Amino acid sequence: MTPLPENNFTRTFRKLEDTRQKYFPGVCVAVTIGIAASFLSQEYGAPAMLMALLLGLAFNFLSQVPMCLPGLELSAKTILRLGVAMLGLRITFSDVLTLGWVPLLMVCSAVVLTIGFGILMARLLGFSSAFGTLTGGSVAICGASAAMAINSVLPQTEQTKRETLFTVISVTTLSTLAMIFYPMLSSSLNLSTQDAGLFLGATIHDVAQVVGAGYSISNEVGDLSTFVKLVRVAMLVPIVMTIGILIRRAARQRGEGSQGKTVAIPGFLIGFVALFIINSLGWIPTVVSAPLANSSSWLLLTAIAALGVRTQLKDILSVGWKPVLLMILETLFIAGFVISYILIVR
Protein backbone atom coordinates (compact mmCIF):
# COMPACT_ATOMS: atom_id res chain seq x y z
CA MET A 1 0.00 0.00 0.00
CA THR A 2 1.46 3.35 -1.04
CA PRO A 3 1.73 5.81 1.90
CA LEU A 4 -0.19 9.06 1.59
CA PRO A 5 1.89 12.05 0.49
CA GLU A 6 3.07 14.30 3.31
CA ASN A 7 1.40 17.73 3.35
CA ASN A 8 2.18 20.90 5.29
CA PHE A 9 -0.07 19.92 8.16
CA THR A 10 1.55 16.55 8.73
CA ARG A 11 5.05 18.06 8.46
CA THR A 12 4.16 20.71 11.03
CA PHE A 13 2.60 18.13 13.33
CA ARG A 14 5.68 15.92 13.05
CA LYS A 15 7.98 18.84 13.92
CA LEU A 16 5.85 19.73 16.95
CA GLU A 17 5.91 16.12 18.10
CA ASP A 18 9.70 15.96 17.69
CA THR A 19 10.04 19.19 19.69
CA ARG A 20 7.80 17.83 22.44
CA GLN A 21 9.77 14.62 22.72
CA LYS A 22 13.04 16.56 22.81
CA TYR A 23 12.19 19.12 25.49
CA PHE A 24 9.31 17.68 27.52
CA PRO A 25 11.27 15.41 29.92
CA GLY A 26 13.67 18.14 31.09
CA VAL A 27 11.00 20.84 31.30
CA CYS A 28 8.75 18.44 33.21
CA VAL A 29 11.54 17.83 35.75
CA ALA A 30 12.08 21.58 36.26
CA VAL A 31 8.36 22.34 36.55
CA THR A 32 7.82 19.51 39.04
CA ILE A 33 10.66 20.75 41.23
CA GLY A 34 9.25 24.28 41.03
CA ILE A 35 5.82 23.06 42.17
CA ALA A 36 7.40 21.18 45.07
CA ALA A 37 9.39 24.28 46.04
CA SER A 38 6.23 26.40 46.00
CA PHE A 39 4.46 23.88 48.23
CA LEU A 40 7.34 23.87 50.74
CA SER A 41 7.40 27.66 50.70
CA GLN A 42 3.69 27.94 51.49
CA GLU A 43 3.77 25.17 54.07
CA TYR A 44 6.86 26.21 56.02
CA GLY A 45 7.43 29.85 55.06
CA ALA A 46 10.78 29.17 53.39
CA PRO A 47 11.83 31.24 50.33
CA ALA A 48 10.50 29.52 47.21
CA MET A 49 13.55 30.45 45.12
CA LEU A 50 15.92 28.91 47.63
CA MET A 51 13.79 25.77 47.90
CA ALA A 52 13.75 25.38 44.11
CA LEU A 53 17.53 25.69 43.95
CA LEU A 54 18.19 23.23 46.77
CA LEU A 55 15.73 20.67 45.42
CA GLY A 56 17.30 21.06 42.01
CA LEU A 57 20.73 20.36 43.46
CA ALA A 58 19.34 17.20 45.08
CA PHE A 59 18.28 15.96 41.63
CA ASN A 60 21.64 16.71 40.01
CA PHE A 61 21.91 13.09 38.85
CA LEU A 62 19.22 13.83 36.24
CA SER A 63 21.68 16.10 34.45
CA GLN A 64 23.49 12.91 33.42
CA VAL A 65 20.37 11.62 31.65
CA PRO A 66 20.62 12.62 27.96
CA MET A 67 16.87 12.86 27.41
CA CYS A 68 16.58 15.52 30.16
CA LEU A 69 19.37 17.82 29.00
CA PRO A 70 17.57 19.75 26.18
CA GLY A 71 14.57 20.54 28.39
CA LEU A 72 16.76 21.62 31.29
CA GLU A 73 18.71 23.88 28.96
CA LEU A 74 15.46 25.37 27.64
CA SER A 75 14.20 25.96 31.18
CA ALA A 76 17.43 27.58 32.35
CA LYS A 77 17.56 30.01 29.41
CA THR A 78 14.36 30.55 27.44
CA ILE A 79 11.91 30.13 30.34
CA LEU A 80 14.17 32.32 32.51
CA ARG A 81 14.08 35.16 29.97
CA LEU A 82 10.33 34.88 29.58
CA GLY A 83 9.93 35.11 33.36
CA VAL A 84 12.07 38.25 33.57
CA ALA A 85 10.06 39.84 30.75
CA MET A 86 6.84 39.12 32.64
CA LEU A 87 8.14 41.17 35.58
CA GLY A 88 7.20 44.22 33.50
CA LEU A 89 3.55 43.56 34.37
CA ARG A 90 4.23 44.13 38.08
CA ILE A 91 4.90 47.84 37.88
CA THR A 92 3.40 50.96 36.31
CA PHE A 93 4.42 54.59 35.87
CA SER A 94 2.07 55.60 38.68
CA ASP A 95 3.84 53.20 41.06
CA VAL A 96 7.16 54.87 40.31
CA LEU A 97 5.82 58.41 40.68
CA THR A 98 4.15 57.59 44.01
CA LEU A 99 7.50 58.03 45.75
CA GLY A 100 8.23 61.58 44.65
CA TRP A 101 11.36 62.67 42.82
CA VAL A 102 13.83 62.94 45.71
CA PRO A 103 13.24 59.46 47.19
CA LEU A 104 13.12 58.10 43.65
CA LEU A 105 16.55 59.53 42.89
CA MET A 106 17.83 58.15 46.19
CA VAL A 107 16.62 54.64 45.35
CA CYS A 108 18.17 54.80 41.87
CA SER A 109 21.43 56.12 43.36
CA ALA A 110 21.47 53.31 45.91
CA VAL A 111 21.17 50.74 43.13
CA VAL A 112 23.98 52.21 41.03
CA LEU A 113 26.32 52.85 43.97
CA THR A 114 25.82 49.35 45.38
CA ILE A 115 26.78 47.79 42.05
CA GLY A 116 29.83 50.07 41.88
CA PHE A 117 30.73 49.14 45.45
CA GLY A 118 30.38 45.46 44.58
CA ILE A 119 32.73 45.78 41.61
CA LEU A 120 35.29 47.68 43.71
CA MET A 121 35.21 45.21 46.60
CA ALA A 122 35.32 42.24 44.22
CA ARG A 123 38.54 43.58 42.71
CA LEU A 124 40.03 44.18 46.17
CA LEU A 125 39.16 40.62 47.20
CA GLY A 126 40.72 39.17 44.04
CA PHE A 127 37.58 38.49 41.99
CA SER A 128 36.61 39.63 38.52
CA SER A 129 34.54 42.72 37.82
CA ALA A 130 31.88 40.43 36.33
CA PHE A 131 31.46 38.65 39.66
CA GLY A 132 31.20 41.99 41.46
CA THR A 133 28.57 43.10 38.96
CA LEU A 134 26.64 39.86 39.45
CA THR A 135 26.61 40.01 43.25
CA GLY A 136 26.18 43.77 43.45
CA GLY A 137 23.33 43.70 40.96
CA SER A 138 21.51 40.94 42.82
CA VAL A 139 21.77 42.85 46.12
CA ALA A 140 20.91 46.21 44.58
CA ILE A 141 17.99 45.29 42.31
CA CYS A 142 15.83 42.24 43.02
CA GLY A 143 17.81 39.34 44.40
CA ALA A 144 17.71 36.03 42.58
CA SER A 145 15.76 37.42 39.61
CA ALA A 146 18.41 40.08 39.00
CA ALA A 147 21.20 37.52 39.34
CA MET A 148 19.57 35.36 36.69
CA ALA A 149 19.00 38.30 34.34
CA ILE A 150 22.57 39.60 34.70
CA ASN A 151 23.92 36.09 34.20
CA SER A 152 22.13 35.90 30.85
CA VAL A 153 24.33 38.65 29.37
CA LEU A 154 27.63 37.47 30.91
CA PRO A 155 29.98 35.13 29.00
CA GLN A 156 28.66 31.63 29.68
CA THR A 157 31.35 29.50 31.34
CA GLU A 158 31.37 26.86 34.07
CA GLN A 159 32.79 29.47 36.44
CA THR A 160 29.94 31.86 35.66
CA LYS A 161 27.41 29.11 36.32
CA ARG A 162 28.93 28.34 39.74
CA GLU A 163 29.10 32.02 40.64
CA THR A 164 25.47 32.56 39.65
CA LEU A 165 24.18 29.69 41.76
CA PHE A 166 26.28 30.82 44.71
CA THR A 167 24.83 34.32 44.30
CA VAL A 168 21.26 33.01 44.20
CA ILE A 169 21.76 31.02 47.42
CA SER A 170 23.55 33.84 49.23
CA VAL A 171 21.25 36.67 48.22
CA THR A 172 18.14 34.65 49.13
CA THR A 173 19.59 33.77 52.53
CA LEU A 174 20.58 37.38 53.25
CA SER A 175 17.18 38.59 52.06
CA THR A 176 15.44 36.21 54.45
CA LEU A 177 17.57 37.43 57.36
CA ALA A 178 16.79 41.02 56.38
CA MET A 179 13.07 40.22 56.33
CA ILE A 180 13.38 39.13 59.96
CA PHE A 181 15.68 41.79 61.39
CA TYR A 182 14.99 44.95 59.36
CA PRO A 183 11.46 45.48 60.77
CA MET A 184 13.02 45.29 64.26
CA LEU A 185 15.62 47.85 63.19
CA SER A 186 12.88 50.12 61.83
CA SER A 187 11.08 49.93 65.14
CA SER A 188 14.22 50.59 67.21
CA LEU A 189 14.96 53.69 65.11
CA ASN A 190 11.36 54.91 65.49
CA LEU A 191 10.95 55.30 61.73
CA SER A 192 7.68 56.76 60.48
CA THR A 193 5.38 54.73 58.26
CA GLN A 194 6.76 56.39 55.13
CA ASP A 195 10.40 56.03 56.20
CA ALA A 196 9.93 52.40 57.25
CA GLY A 197 8.39 51.55 53.88
CA LEU A 198 11.19 53.37 52.08
CA PHE A 199 13.86 51.58 54.12
CA LEU A 200 12.45 48.08 53.69
CA GLY A 201 11.69 48.49 50.00
CA ALA A 202 15.08 50.02 49.19
CA THR A 203 17.25 47.51 51.08
CA ILE A 204 15.73 44.00 51.15
CA HIS A 205 16.82 41.98 48.13
CA ASP A 206 13.87 39.83 46.98
CA VAL A 207 10.32 41.02 46.29
CA ALA A 208 8.70 38.30 48.39
CA GLN A 209 10.79 39.17 51.44
CA VAL A 210 9.98 42.87 51.03
CA VAL A 211 6.29 42.04 51.06
CA GLY A 212 6.71 39.83 54.13
CA ALA A 213 8.68 42.45 56.06
CA GLY A 214 6.46 45.39 55.09
CA TYR A 215 3.12 43.83 55.91
CA SER A 216 4.49 42.45 59.17
CA ILE A 217 4.54 46.09 60.37
CA SER A 218 1.32 47.45 58.79
CA ASN A 219 -0.64 47.51 55.57
CA GLU A 220 0.55 51.06 54.85
CA VAL A 221 4.21 50.10 55.25
CA GLY A 222 3.64 46.99 53.14
CA ASP A 223 2.08 48.97 50.28
CA LEU A 224 4.83 51.59 50.24
CA SER A 225 7.71 49.12 50.58
CA THR A 226 6.31 47.10 47.67
CA PHE A 227 6.15 50.23 45.50
CA VAL A 228 9.74 51.11 46.37
CA LYS A 229 10.86 47.58 45.60
CA LEU A 230 9.19 47.68 42.20
CA VAL A 231 11.14 50.83 41.37
CA ARG A 232 14.31 48.81 41.97
CA VAL A 233 12.90 46.05 39.74
CA ALA A 234 12.41 48.63 36.98
CA MET A 235 16.14 49.42 37.21
CA LEU A 236 16.80 45.90 35.93
CA VAL A 237 16.36 46.97 32.32
CA PRO A 238 18.89 49.84 32.05
CA ILE A 239 21.39 48.00 34.26
CA VAL A 240 21.37 44.76 32.25
CA MET A 241 21.39 46.66 28.96
CA THR A 242 24.43 48.64 30.13
CA ILE A 243 26.22 45.47 31.22
CA GLY A 244 25.53 43.85 27.83
CA ILE A 245 26.89 46.87 25.95
CA LEU A 246 30.05 47.03 28.09
CA ILE A 247 30.73 43.32 27.69
CA ARG A 248 30.29 43.54 23.92
CA ARG A 249 32.61 46.56 23.74
CA ALA A 250 35.26 44.87 25.89
CA ALA A 251 35.10 41.73 23.72
CA ARG A 252 35.64 43.78 20.59
CA GLN A 253 38.59 45.60 22.13
CA ARG A 254 40.17 42.21 22.87
CA GLY A 255 39.64 41.25 19.24
CA GLU A 256 36.97 38.66 20.09
CA GLY A 257 34.61 39.79 17.39
CA SER A 258 32.44 36.70 17.34
CA GLN A 259 31.96 36.74 21.09
CA GLY A 260 31.13 40.42 21.01
CA LYS A 261 28.37 39.81 18.50
CA THR A 262 26.73 37.13 20.55
CA VAL A 263 26.50 39.29 23.67
CA ALA A 264 23.80 41.68 22.46
CA ILE A 265 20.97 43.47 24.20
CA PRO A 266 18.64 40.57 25.06
CA GLY A 267 15.16 40.56 23.60
CA PHE A 268 13.53 39.71 26.91
CA LEU A 269 14.48 43.17 28.24
CA ILE A 270 12.66 44.73 25.30
CA GLY A 271 9.71 42.56 26.30
CA PHE A 272 10.01 43.85 29.89
CA VAL A 273 9.86 47.46 28.72
CA ALA A 274 6.99 46.78 26.31
CA LEU A 275 4.89 45.06 28.98
CA PHE A 276 5.73 47.82 31.48
CA ILE A 277 4.51 50.52 29.06
CA ILE A 278 1.40 48.60 28.00
CA ASN A 279 0.51 47.87 31.62
CA SER A 280 1.05 51.52 32.59
CA LEU A 281 -1.28 52.67 29.81
CA GLY A 282 -3.99 50.35 31.12
CA TRP A 283 -4.33 48.47 27.86
CA ILE A 284 -4.31 45.10 29.63
CA PRO A 285 -7.37 44.31 31.80
CA THR A 286 -6.55 43.44 35.41
CA VAL A 287 -8.22 40.06 35.01
CA VAL A 288 -5.56 39.28 32.39
CA SER A 289 -2.50 41.15 33.72
CA ALA A 290 -2.70 39.78 37.28
CA PRO A 291 -2.36 36.08 36.31
CA LEU A 292 0.35 36.94 33.78
CA ALA A 293 2.29 38.93 36.40
CA ASN A 294 2.03 36.03 38.85
CA SER A 295 3.26 33.65 36.15
CA SER A 296 6.67 35.34 36.27
CA SER A 297 7.29 33.77 39.68
CA TRP A 298 6.50 30.31 38.34
CA LEU A 299 8.69 30.78 35.30
CA LEU A 300 11.62 31.96 37.43
CA LEU A 301 11.11 29.06 39.85
CA THR A 302 11.28 26.65 36.92
CA ALA A 303 14.47 28.27 35.61
CA ILE A 304 16.23 28.20 38.97
CA ALA A 305 15.22 24.57 39.50
CA ALA A 306 16.76 23.71 36.12
CA LEU A 307 19.98 25.51 37.03
CA GLY A 308 20.11 23.60 40.29
CA VAL A 309 19.72 20.25 38.53
CA ARG A 310 22.59 21.12 36.18
CA THR A 311 24.99 22.02 38.99
CA GLN A 312 26.86 19.93 41.55
CA LEU A 313 26.81 21.14 45.14
CA LYS A 314 30.57 20.73 45.52
CA ASP A 315 31.07 23.32 42.76
CA ILE A 316 29.21 25.92 44.82
CA LEU A 317 30.92 25.03 48.10
CA SER A 318 34.32 25.45 46.48
CA VAL A 319 33.98 29.26 46.25
CA GLY A 320 35.35 29.84 49.79
CA TRP A 321 34.57 32.54 52.35
CA LYS A 322 35.54 35.65 50.40
CA PRO A 323 32.44 35.67 48.17
CA VAL A 324 30.27 35.40 51.30
CA LEU A 325 32.09 38.39 52.78
CA LEU A 326 31.59 40.31 49.53
CA MET A 327 27.82 39.86 49.56
CA ILE A 328 27.55 40.72 53.25
CA LEU A 329 29.49 43.93 52.64
CA GLU A 330 27.22 44.83 49.71
CA THR A 331 24.15 44.21 51.86
CA LEU A 332 25.50 46.40 54.65
CA PHE A 333 26.45 49.11 52.14
CA ILE A 334 22.98 49.55 50.67
CA ALA A 335 21.37 49.39 54.12
CA GLY A 336 23.79 52.00 55.47
CA PHE A 337 23.27 54.27 52.47
CA VAL A 338 19.46 54.24 52.79
CA ILE A 339 19.50 54.65 56.58
CA SER A 340 21.88 57.61 56.24
CA TYR A 341 19.52 59.25 53.76
CA ILE A 342 16.49 58.74 56.03
CA LEU A 343 18.17 59.92 59.25
CA ILE A 344 20.25 62.79 57.82
CA VAL A 345 18.72 64.08 54.58
CA ARG A 346 15.03 63.57 55.35
Lowest mean pLDDT among 72-76, 238-242, 318-322: 318-322
Distances (CA, A) of 65 to 52, 77, 171, 302: 20, 19, 30, 18
Lowest mean pLDDT among 16-20, 28-32, 106-110, 332-336: 16-20
Indicate the pLDDT class of residue 337, thresholds 50, 70 and 90.
Answer: very high
Mean pLDDT of the region 147-165: 81
- C-alpha closest to that of 29 among 291, 310, 297: 310
Is pLDDT above 60 for 263?
Answer: no
Q: Give CA–CA dist 306/27, Å, rounded.
A: 8
Q: Give CA–CA dist 57/51, Å, rounded.
A: 10
User: Does 30 or 98 have the greater pLDDT score?
Assistant: 30
pLDDT digits (tens, 9 = 90+) for 217-237: 887 787 788 778 878 887 888
Mean pLDDT of the region 184-205: 90
Would you state the pLDDT for residue 264? 46
Would you state the pLDDT for residue 134? 93
Would you state the pLDDT for residue 9? 65
Q: Which residues contact 298 (CB under 8 A, 6 or more apart)?
A: 34, 38, 83
User: Does 262 or 145 have the greater pLDDT score?
Assistant: 145
Would you state the pLDDT for residue 314? 67
Is pLDDT above 60 for 261?
Answer: no
Would you state the pLDDT for residue 4? 46
pTM: 0.69
The domains of the chain are located at 91-285+314-345
User: Does 248 or 187 have the greater pLDDT score?
Assistant: 187
Indicate the pLDDT class of residue 209, thresholds 50, 70 and 90.
Answer: confident
Is pLDDT above 70 for 125?
Answer: yes
Highest-pLDDT range among 105-114, 176-185, 205-214: 105-114
Q: Give CA–CA dist 344/341, Å, rounded.
A: 5
Mean pLDDT of the region 277-283: 85
In contact, 77 and 153? CB cutoff 8 Å: no
pLDDT averaged over every residue in the chain: 82
Sign of the CA dihedral 264, 270, 272, 277? positive
Is pLDDT above 60 for 46?
Answer: yes
